[in-house]
Structure 1
Protein backbone atom coordinates (compact mmCIF):
# COMPACT_ATOMS: atom_id res chain seq x y z
CA UNK A 1 0.00 0.00 0.00
CA UNK A 2 2.78 2.44 0.93
CA UNK A 3 4.62 1.79 -2.35
CA UNK A 4 1.41 2.43 -4.27
CA UNK A 5 0.86 5.75 -2.47
CA UNK A 6 4.49 6.74 -3.16
CA UNK A 7 4.09 6.05 -6.88
CA UNK A 8 0.85 8.07 -6.97
CA UNK A 9 2.51 11.02 -5.22
CA UNK A 10 5.55 10.95 -7.51
CA UNK A 11 3.41 10.80 -10.64
CA UNK A 12 1.09 13.49 -9.32
CA UNK A 13 3.94 15.81 -8.40
CA UNK A 14 5.43 15.33 -11.84
CA UNK A 15 2.13 16.06 -13.51
CA UNK A 16 1.66 19.04 -11.19
CA UNK A 17 5.00 20.45 -12.28
CA UNK A 18 3.87 20.54 -15.90
CA UNK A 19 0.43 21.95 -15.11
CA UNK A 20 0.33 25.64 -15.95
CA UNK A 21 0.64 27.71 -12.83
CA UNK A 22 -1.55 30.71 -12.20
CA UNK A 23 -0.68 34.21 -11.05
CA UNK A 24 -4.17 34.60 -9.58
CA UNK A 25 -4.35 34.49 -5.79
CA UNK A 26 -6.40 31.41 -5.04
CA UNK A 27 -9.33 31.67 -2.62
CA UNK A 28 -10.29 28.11 -1.58
CA UNK A 29 -13.41 29.11 0.38
CA UNK A 30 -16.28 26.65 -0.16
CA UNK A 31 -14.08 24.06 -1.88
CA UNK A 32 -13.40 20.37 -1.18
CA UNK A 33 -9.90 18.94 -1.69
CA UNK A 34 -8.88 15.28 -1.80
CA UNK A 35 -5.29 14.15 -1.65
CA UNK A 36 -2.63 11.52 -1.04
CA UNK A 37 0.50 11.89 1.06
CA UNK A 38 3.57 10.04 2.23
CA UNK A 39 6.64 10.76 4.31
CA UNK A 40 8.73 9.94 7.34
CA UNK A 41 7.49 8.67 10.69
CA UNK A 42 9.71 9.29 13.72
CA UNK A 43 8.97 7.44 16.97
CA UNK A 44 10.05 9.66 19.86
CA UNK A 45 9.04 7.20 22.59
CA UNK A 46 11.80 4.65 21.98
CA UNK A 47 14.33 5.12 24.79
CA UNK A 48 16.56 2.05 24.46
CA UNK A 49 18.25 2.75 21.14
CA UNK A 50 15.82 1.06 18.74
CA UNK A 51 15.48 2.21 15.13
CA UNK A 52 12.92 5.00 15.30
CA UNK A 53 12.22 6.06 11.68
CA UNK A 54 10.04 4.49 9.01
CA UNK A 55 7.80 5.40 6.09
CA UNK A 56 4.15 6.32 6.50
CA UNK A 57 1.32 7.29 4.20
CA UNK A 58 -2.31 8.27 4.01
CA UNK A 59 -5.18 10.01 2.28
CA UNK A 60 -6.82 13.39 2.93
CA UNK A 61 -10.22 15.06 2.62
CA UNK A 62 -10.36 18.79 3.38
CA UNK A 63 -13.08 21.45 3.26
CA UNK A 64 -12.38 25.21 3.40
CA UNK A 65 -15.23 26.96 5.17
CA UNK A 66 -13.46 30.32 4.79
CA UNK A 67 -10.44 31.71 2.96
CA UNK A 68 -8.09 30.97 5.87
CA UNK A 69 -9.81 28.14 7.77
CA UNK A 70 -10.48 24.50 6.92
CA UNK A 71 -11.59 21.21 8.42
CA UNK A 72 -9.83 18.00 7.43
CA UNK A 73 -9.87 14.29 8.06
CA UNK A 74 -7.10 11.86 7.19
CA UNK A 75 -6.59 8.12 7.20
CA UNK A 76 -2.98 7.42 8.21
CA UNK A 77 -1.06 4.18 8.72
CA UNK A 78 2.22 4.19 10.62
CA UNK A 79 4.37 2.26 13.09
CA UNK A 80 4.63 3.23 16.72
CA UNK A 81 6.33 2.03 19.88
CA UNK A 82 7.61 2.59 23.40
CA UNK A 83 10.66 1.30 25.26
CA UNK A 84 11.95 2.03 28.75
CA UNK A 85 14.22 0.59 31.42
CA UNK A 86 14.91 1.40 35.07
CA UNK A 87 17.33 -0.75 37.12
CA UNK A 88 16.58 -1.86 40.67
CA UNK A 89 17.86 -0.17 43.84
CA UNK A 90 20.85 -2.54 43.85
CA UNK A 91 22.32 -0.61 40.92
CA UNK A 92 24.82 1.94 42.36
CA UNK A 93 24.20 4.30 39.42
CA UNK A 94 20.48 4.63 40.15
CA UNK A 95 20.30 6.24 43.58
CA UNK A 96 16.58 7.02 43.40
CA UNK A 97 15.44 3.66 41.99
CA UNK A 98 13.29 1.09 43.75
CA UNK A 99 12.23 -1.95 41.74
CA UNK A 100 13.36 -2.74 38.22
CA UNK A 101 10.96 -1.74 35.43
CA UNK A 102 11.33 -2.52 31.75
CA UNK A 103 9.33 -3.00 28.58
CA UNK A 104 9.34 -2.74 24.79
CA UNK A 105 6.19 -2.19 22.77
CA UNK A 106 6.16 -2.29 18.97
CA UNK A 107 2.98 -1.65 17.06
CA UNK A 108 1.23 -0.31 13.99
CA UNK A 109 -1.86 1.87 13.92
CA UNK A 110 -4.47 3.15 11.53
CA UNK A 111 -5.28 6.69 12.68
CA UNK A 112 -8.17 8.98 11.76
CA UNK A 113 -7.15 12.52 12.70
CA UNK A 114 -9.77 15.29 12.50
CA UNK A 115 -8.23 18.78 12.47
CA UNK A 116 -9.11 22.43 12.19
CA UNK A 117 -6.47 24.42 10.30
CA UNK A 118 -5.64 28.11 10.10
CA UNK A 119 -3.73 29.28 7.01
CA UNK A 120 -1.94 32.58 6.58
CA UNK A 121 -0.18 34.03 3.56
CA UNK A 122 3.59 33.84 3.06
CA UNK A 123 4.00 34.86 -0.59
CA UNK A 124 1.29 34.87 -3.23
CA UNK A 125 -0.17 31.32 -3.28
CA UNK A 126 2.29 29.95 -0.73
CA UNK A 127 0.68 29.75 2.69
CA UNK A 128 1.77 28.49 6.10
CA UNK A 129 -0.60 26.90 8.59
CA UNK A 130 -1.18 25.74 12.14
CA UNK A 131 -3.60 22.98 13.10
CA UNK A 132 -5.01 21.18 16.08
CA UNK A 133 -7.40 18.27 16.35
CA UNK A 134 -8.24 14.83 17.65
CA UNK A 135 -7.25 11.40 16.33
CA UNK A 136 -8.91 8.03 16.81
CA UNK A 137 -6.35 5.21 16.62
CA UNK A 138 -6.79 1.48 16.00
CA UNK A 139 -3.81 -0.78 16.66
CA UNK A 140 -3.33 -3.34 13.89
CA UNK A 141 -0.18 -4.77 15.49
CA UNK A 142 0.63 -4.95 19.22
CA UNK A 143 3.81 -6.72 20.32
CA UNK A 144 4.92 -6.55 23.96
CA UNK A 145 8.33 -7.89 24.98
CA UNK A 146 10.78 -7.61 27.89
CA UNK A 147 8.07 -6.35 30.26
CA UNK A 148 8.90 -6.78 33.92
CA UNK A 149 6.40 -8.68 36.08
CA UNK A 150 5.33 -5.52 37.96
CA UNK A 151 3.75 -4.00 34.82
CA UNK A 152 0.42 -5.06 33.29
CA UNK A 153 0.22 -5.16 29.50
CA UNK A 154 -3.56 -5.01 29.39
CA UNK A 155 -3.64 -1.78 27.37
CA UNK A 156 -6.46 -0.78 25.00
CA UNK A 157 -6.02 -1.30 21.26
CA UNK A 158 -8.25 1.64 20.44
CA UNK A 159 -7.61 5.09 21.86
CA UNK A 160 -7.80 8.79 21.13
CA UNK A 161 -5.29 11.59 21.38
CA UNK A 162 -4.74 15.25 20.60
CA UNK A 163 -2.99 16.05 17.32
CA UNK A 164 -1.14 19.28 16.63
CA UNK A 165 0.86 20.40 13.63
CA UNK A 166 2.13 22.99 11.21
CA UNK A 167 2.84 23.08 7.50
CA UNK A 168 3.00 24.76 4.13
CA UNK A 169 0.52 24.77 1.26
CA UNK A 170 1.17 25.95 -2.31
CA UNK A 171 -1.70 26.31 -4.79
CA UNK A 172 -0.45 25.61 -8.30
CA UNK A 173 -3.82 26.63 -9.72
CA UNK A 174 -7.49 26.44 -8.78
CA UNK A 175 -7.54 22.65 -9.03
CA UNK A 176 -4.19 21.50 -7.66
CA UNK A 177 -2.08 22.17 -4.55
CA UNK A 178 0.98 20.58 -3.00
CA UNK A 179 1.65 20.62 0.73
CA UNK A 180 3.98 19.74 3.58
CA UNK A 181 2.60 18.69 6.98
CA UNK A 182 4.40 18.05 10.28
CA UNK A 183 2.05 16.47 12.83
CA UNK A 184 2.60 15.32 16.41
CA UNK A 185 0.69 12.32 17.83
CA UNK A 186 0.85 11.47 21.56
CA UNK A 187 -1.14 8.34 22.23
CA UNK A 188 -1.84 5.54 24.67
CA UNK A 189 0.10 4.70 27.82
CA UNK A 190 2.30 1.62 27.37
CA UNK A 191 4.22 1.39 30.65
CA UNK A 192 5.57 3.13 33.73
CA UNK A 193 8.35 3.24 36.29
CA UNK A 194 8.22 4.12 40.00
CA UNK A 195 11.11 5.70 41.90
CA UNK A 196 11.56 8.02 44.90
CA UNK A 197 10.17 10.91 42.83
CA UNK A 198 6.91 9.06 42.12
CA UNK A 199 5.41 7.41 39.06
CA UNK A 200 6.42 8.21 35.49
CA UNK A 201 4.31 6.93 32.60
CA UNK A 202 5.42 6.22 29.04
CA UNK A 203 3.15 6.91 26.07
CA UNK A 204 3.55 6.38 22.34
CA UNK A 205 4.85 9.56 20.70
CA UNK A 206 5.14 10.04 16.94
CA UNK A 207 6.05 12.93 14.65
CA UNK A 208 4.88 12.49 11.05
CA UNK A 209 6.38 14.58 8.25
CA UNK A 210 4.28 14.24 5.09
CA UNK A 211 4.54 15.49 1.51
CA UNK A 212 1.35 15.41 -0.50
CA UNK A 213 -0.74 16.61 -3.38
CA UNK A 214 -4.45 17.43 -3.31
CA UNK A 215 -7.03 18.16 -5.93
CA UNK A 216 -10.20 20.25 -5.99
CA UNK A 217 -12.61 17.94 -7.75
Structure 2
Protein backbone atom coordinates (compact mmCIF):
# COMPACT_ATOMS: atom_id res chain seq x y z
CA UNK A 1 0.00 0.00 0.00
CA UNK A 2 2.91 2.39 0.75
CA UNK A 3 4.19 1.85 -2.80
CA UNK A 4 0.75 2.62 -4.22
CA UNK A 5 0.47 5.82 -2.16
CA UNK A 6 3.94 6.86 -3.26
CA UNK A 7 2.95 6.29 -6.90
CA UNK A 8 -0.16 8.45 -6.50
CA UNK A 9 1.82 11.24 -4.77
CA UNK A 10 4.36 11.23 -7.62
CA UNK A 11 1.52 11.31 -10.16
CA UNK A 12 -0.13 14.27 -8.42
CA UNK A 13 3.21 16.11 -8.34
CA UNK A 14 3.78 15.35 -12.02
CA UNK A 15 0.33 16.57 -13.03
CA UNK A 16 0.71 19.71 -10.88
CA UNK A 17 4.00 20.46 -12.64
CA UNK A 18 2.29 19.82 -15.97
CA UNK A 19 -0.36 22.40 -15.04
CA UNK A 20 2.25 25.07 -14.53
CA UNK A 21 3.90 24.22 -17.86
CA UNK A 22 0.79 24.00 -20.02
CA UNK A 23 1.45 27.25 -21.93
CA UNK A 24 5.19 26.88 -22.49
CA UNK A 25 5.68 23.13 -22.85
CA UNK A 26 2.47 22.03 -24.54
CA UNK A 27 1.50 19.78 -21.63
CA UNK A 28 -2.12 19.44 -20.53
CA UNK A 29 -3.11 17.99 -17.16
CA UNK A 30 -6.43 16.38 -16.29
CA UNK A 31 -8.59 14.79 -13.63
CA UNK A 32 -11.59 12.50 -14.11
CA UNK A 33 -14.12 10.19 -12.51
CA UNK A 34 -15.97 7.39 -14.26
CA UNK A 35 -18.56 4.64 -14.04
CA UNK A 36 -17.27 1.29 -15.30
CA UNK A 37 -18.33 -2.25 -16.11
CA UNK A 38 -15.95 -5.22 -16.13
CA UNK A 39 -15.97 -8.99 -16.43
CA UNK A 40 -13.74 -12.04 -16.82
CA UNK A 41 -12.83 -13.34 -20.28
CA UNK A 42 -11.82 -16.98 -20.81
CA UNK A 43 -11.38 -19.38 -23.73
CA UNK A 44 -14.02 -21.57 -22.13
CA UNK A 45 -17.55 -20.45 -21.37
CA UNK A 46 -17.85 -19.07 -17.84
CA UNK A 47 -20.74 -18.23 -15.58
CA UNK A 48 -19.39 -14.75 -14.80
CA UNK A 49 -21.40 -11.60 -15.43
CA UNK A 50 -20.54 -7.91 -15.53
CA UNK A 51 -19.64 -6.03 -12.36
CA UNK A 52 -20.06 -2.27 -12.11
CA UNK A 53 -17.70 0.05 -10.30
CA UNK A 54 -16.13 3.49 -10.24
CA UNK A 55 -12.75 4.88 -11.21
CA UNK A 56 -10.85 8.11 -10.64
CA UNK A 57 -7.77 9.28 -12.45
CA UNK A 58 -5.10 11.84 -13.20
CA UNK A 59 -3.61 12.43 -16.62
CA UNK A 60 -0.96 14.42 -18.46
CA UNK A 61 -0.65 14.83 -22.22
CA UNK A 62 2.38 16.14 -24.08
CA UNK A 63 1.30 17.70 -27.39
CA UNK A 64 3.64 17.17 -30.36
CA UNK A 65 1.28 19.03 -32.71
CA UNK A 66 -2.35 20.13 -32.80
CA UNK A 67 -3.24 16.58 -33.88
CA UNK A 68 -0.96 14.25 -31.92
CA UNK A 69 0.08 13.86 -28.31
CA UNK A 70 1.34 11.27 -25.83
CA UNK A 71 -1.05 10.76 -22.91
CA UNK A 72 -0.26 9.05 -19.60
CA UNK A 73 -2.93 8.26 -17.01
CA UNK A 74 -2.88 6.99 -13.43
CA UNK A 75 -6.29 5.49 -12.59
CA UNK A 76 -7.74 3.86 -9.50
CA UNK A 77 -9.86 1.14 -11.12
CA UNK A 78 -12.56 -1.04 -9.56
CA UNK A 79 -12.65 -4.21 -11.65
CA UNK A 80 -13.71 -7.84 -11.30
CA UNK A 81 -16.79 -9.87 -12.12
CA UNK A 82 -19.99 -11.16 -10.55
CA UNK A 83 -21.43 -14.61 -10.00
CA UNK A 84 -18.22 -16.64 -9.98
CA UNK A 85 -17.27 -19.73 -8.00
CA UNK A 86 -14.37 -20.23 -5.60
CA UNK A 87 -13.31 -22.79 -3.00
CA UNK A 88 -13.22 -21.24 0.48
CA UNK A 89 -10.82 -22.00 3.35
CA UNK A 90 -12.99 -24.94 4.41
CA UNK A 91 -12.91 -26.55 0.98
CA UNK A 92 -16.49 -25.58 0.12
CA UNK A 93 -17.47 -24.32 -3.32
CA UNK A 94 -18.92 -20.82 -2.84
CA UNK A 95 -20.89 -18.61 -5.25
CA UNK A 96 -19.40 -15.10 -4.98
CA UNK A 97 -18.39 -11.87 -6.68
CA UNK A 98 -14.75 -11.02 -7.41
CA UNK A 99 -13.80 -7.47 -6.36
CA UNK A 100 -10.41 -6.50 -7.79
CA UNK A 101 -9.02 -2.98 -7.36
CA UNK A 102 -6.06 -1.79 -9.44
CA UNK A 103 -3.93 1.26 -9.98
CA UNK A 104 -3.82 1.28 -13.79
CA UNK A 105 -1.27 3.19 -15.89
CA UNK A 106 -2.11 3.51 -19.62
CA UNK A 107 0.44 5.10 -21.99
CA UNK A 108 -1.34 6.12 -25.18
CA UNK A 109 -0.98 7.96 -28.45
CA UNK A 110 -3.74 10.60 -28.59
CA UNK A 111 -5.06 11.74 -31.98
CA UNK A 112 -7.08 14.98 -32.04
CA UNK A 113 -9.53 15.48 -34.89
CA UNK A 114 -12.48 17.60 -35.97
CA UNK A 115 -12.51 21.20 -37.23
CA UNK A 116 -11.46 22.59 -33.84
CA UNK A 117 -9.58 19.43 -32.75
CA UNK A 118 -12.02 18.97 -29.88
CA UNK A 119 -12.54 15.25 -30.62
CA UNK A 120 -9.85 12.73 -29.69
CA UNK A 121 -9.06 9.05 -30.10
CA UNK A 122 -6.38 7.35 -28.00
CA UNK A 123 -4.82 3.90 -27.95
CA UNK A 124 -1.88 2.12 -26.35
CA UNK A 125 -0.75 -0.39 -23.71
CA UNK A 126 -1.58 -0.35 -20.02
CA UNK A 127 -0.28 -2.03 -16.90
CA UNK A 128 -2.33 -2.44 -13.72
CA UNK A 129 -1.03 -2.99 -10.18
CA UNK A 130 -3.30 -4.97 -7.85
CA UNK A 131 -4.29 -3.11 -4.67
CA UNK A 132 -7.17 -5.18 -3.25
CA UNK A 133 -8.67 -8.55 -4.16
CA UNK A 134 -11.72 -9.79 -2.27
CA UNK A 135 -14.39 -12.47 -2.63
CA UNK A 136 -17.07 -11.12 -0.25
CA UNK A 137 -19.39 -14.10 -0.63
CA UNK A 138 -16.63 -16.41 0.61
CA UNK A 139 -15.03 -13.89 3.01
CA UNK A 140 -11.71 -14.46 1.24
CA UNK A 141 -8.70 -12.26 0.54
CA UNK A 142 -7.76 -13.22 -3.03
CA UNK A 143 -4.29 -11.68 -3.18
CA UNK A 144 -2.73 -15.13 -2.84
CA UNK A 145 -4.64 -16.25 -5.95
CA UNK A 146 -4.46 -13.17 -8.22
CA UNK A 147 -1.33 -11.98 -10.02
CA UNK A 148 -0.02 -8.64 -8.79
CA UNK A 149 -0.05 -7.09 -12.28
CA UNK A 150 -2.44 -7.02 -15.22
CA UNK A 151 -1.50 -5.77 -18.69
CA UNK A 152 -3.26 -5.23 -21.98
CA UNK A 153 -4.49 -2.67 -24.49
CA UNK A 154 -6.43 0.54 -23.82
CA UNK A 155 -8.61 2.43 -26.30
CA UNK A 156 -10.73 5.55 -25.88
CA UNK A 157 -12.71 8.24 -27.69
CA UNK A 158 -13.98 11.55 -26.36
CA UNK A 159 -14.86 15.19 -26.85
CA UNK A 160 -13.79 18.40 -25.08
CA UNK A 161 -15.71 21.61 -24.40
CA UNK A 162 -13.92 24.84 -23.49
CA UNK A 163 -15.51 26.30 -20.34
CA UNK A 164 -12.84 28.84 -19.34
CA UNK A 165 -9.64 30.34 -20.71
CA UNK A 166 -7.48 27.44 -19.52
CA UNK A 167 -10.11 24.85 -18.60
CA UNK A 168 -11.94 22.25 -20.69
CA UNK A 169 -14.69 19.82 -19.73
CA UNK A 170 -14.36 16.41 -21.37
CA UNK A 171 -16.61 13.39 -21.74
CA UNK A 172 -15.17 10.12 -22.98
CA UNK A 173 -15.54 6.38 -23.28
CA UNK A 174 -12.58 4.07 -22.75
CA UNK A 175 -12.05 0.34 -22.81
CA UNK A 176 -9.34 -2.02 -21.56
CA UNK A 177 -8.73 -5.50 -22.95
CA UNK A 178 -6.51 -7.63 -20.73
CA UNK A 179 -3.81 -9.66 -22.46
CA UNK A 180 -2.42 -11.55 -19.46
CA UNK A 181 -3.74 -14.29 -17.18
CA UNK A 182 -4.71 -12.73 -13.84
CA UNK A 183 -4.76 -16.08 -11.97
CA UNK A 184 -1.56 -17.25 -10.26
CA UNK A 185 -0.24 -20.68 -11.27
CA UNK A 186 -3.30 -21.24 -13.45
CA UNK A 187 -3.44 -24.77 -14.88
CA UNK A 188 -6.75 -24.25 -16.68
CA UNK A 189 -7.94 -21.79 -19.30
CA UNK A 190 -6.40 -18.33 -19.13
CA UNK A 191 -8.60 -15.69 -17.49
CA UNK A 192 -8.20 -12.01 -18.36
CA UNK A 193 -10.16 -8.87 -17.55
CA UNK A 194 -12.26 -6.70 -19.82
CA UNK A 195 -13.38 -3.26 -18.66
CA UNK A 196 -15.30 -0.34 -20.20
CA UNK A 197 -15.99 3.06 -18.66
CA UNK A 198 -17.84 6.33 -19.27
CA UNK A 199 -15.89 9.25 -17.80
CA UNK A 200 -16.20 12.96 -17.18
CA UNK A 201 -13.40 15.29 -16.19
CA UNK A 202 -11.49 18.55 -16.56
CA UNK A 203 -8.35 19.46 -18.49
CA UNK A 204 -6.13 22.37 -17.46
Q: TM-score, normalised by structure 1?
A: 0.61
Indicate yes or no: 2:123 matched with 1:128.
no
C-alpha contact 1:82 1:190 (8 A) present in aligned 2: no
The aligned residue for residue 109 of structure 2 is 116
C-alpha contact 1:82 1:202 (8 A) present in aligned 2: no
Larger Rg: 1
What is the distance in 1 between the residues matched to 2:26 and 2:156?
22
More helix by share: 2
Gaps of 5+ in 2: 1-22, 86-92, 139-143
What is the distance in 2 between the residues matched to 1:172 and 1:178?
7
Indicate yes or no: 2:74 matched with 1:75.
yes
Q: Aligned pair in 2 of structure 1 residues 29, 132: CA closer, same or farther (>3 Å)? A: farther
What is the RMSD computed on CA atoms of the aligned residues? 3.3
Choose from 142, 165, 174 the match for 1:183. 174
The aligned residue for residue 158 of structure 1 is 149
- SS of alignment partner, residue 67 of structure 1: coil
Choose from 138, 142, 153 the match for 2:129. 138
> Could you report, residue by residue, the CA deviation over 1:163-210 in whole angstroms, capped at 9, with x for unpaired residues?
11111123346522221221111234346xxxxxxx754311111211
The aligned residue for residue 202 of structure 1 is 191
The aligned residue for residue 13 of structure 2 is none
- SS of alignment partner, residue 156 of structure 1: coil
Q: How does 1:48-87 map to 2 (within 5 A)?
A: 48=47, 52-82=51-81
Structure 1 runs (4+) greater than 4 angstroms displaced: 46-51, 83-86, 144-147
Choose from 21, 30, 37 the match for 1:42. 37
Indicate yes or no: 2:201 matched with 1:212.
yes
Q: 1:45 offset after TM fit, Å? A: 3.1
Q: 1:31 offset after TM fit, Å? A: 1.4
Q: Aligned pair in 2 of structure 1 residues 45, 156: CA closer, same or farther (>3 Å)? A: closer
Gaps of 5+ in 1: 1-27, 87-99, 148-152, 192-198
What is the distance in 1 between the residues matched to 2:61 and 2:198?
18
What is the distance in 1 between the residues matched to 2:33 and 2:199?
5
